[in-house]
Chains A and B, each alone.
Chain A
Amino acid sequence: DSGVTQTPKHLITATGQRVTLRCSPRSGDLSVYWYQQSLDQGLQFLIQYYNGEERAKGNILERFSAQQFPDLHSELNLSSLELGDSALYFCASSAMGQAEKLFFGSGTQLSVL
Chain B
Amino acid sequence: GENVEQHPSTLSVQEGDSAVIKCTYSDSASNYFPWYKQELGKRPQLIIDIRSNVGEKKDQRIAVTLNKTAKHFSLHITETQPEDSAVYFCAANRDDKIIFGKGTRLHILP
Contacts and interface: CB of A to CB of B under 8 A. Distances in A.
B7 interface: no
Interface of A: 2, 31, 33, 35, 40-45, 48, 50, 55-56, 58, 90, 97-102, 104-107
Nearest to B91: A43
A56 B31 CA distance: 17
A45 B102 CA distance: 12
A101 B43 contact: no
Contacts, number: 56
Contacts of B34: 101-102
B102 A40 contact: yes
27 contacts: A2-B45, A31-B96, A35-B100, A41-B102, A42-B89, A42-B100, A42-B101, A43-B100, A45-B98, A48-B96, A48-B97, A55-B96, A58-B99, A90-B43, A90-B44, A97-B96, A98-B93, A98-B96, A99-B31, A99-B32, A100-B32, A101-B46, A102-B44, A104-B43, A104-B44, A104-B45, A105-B43
Nearest to B52: A99
A45 B92 CA distance: 12
A44 B22 CA distance: 19
Q: Which of A33, A98, A99, A106 gathers most chain B CB within 10 Å? A: A99
Given A97-B96, A102-B46, 4 more contacts: A42-B102, A43-B103, A48-B97, A102-B36
Interface string B8-43: 000000000000000000000001101010000011
Contacts of B96: 31, 48, 50, 55-56, 97-98
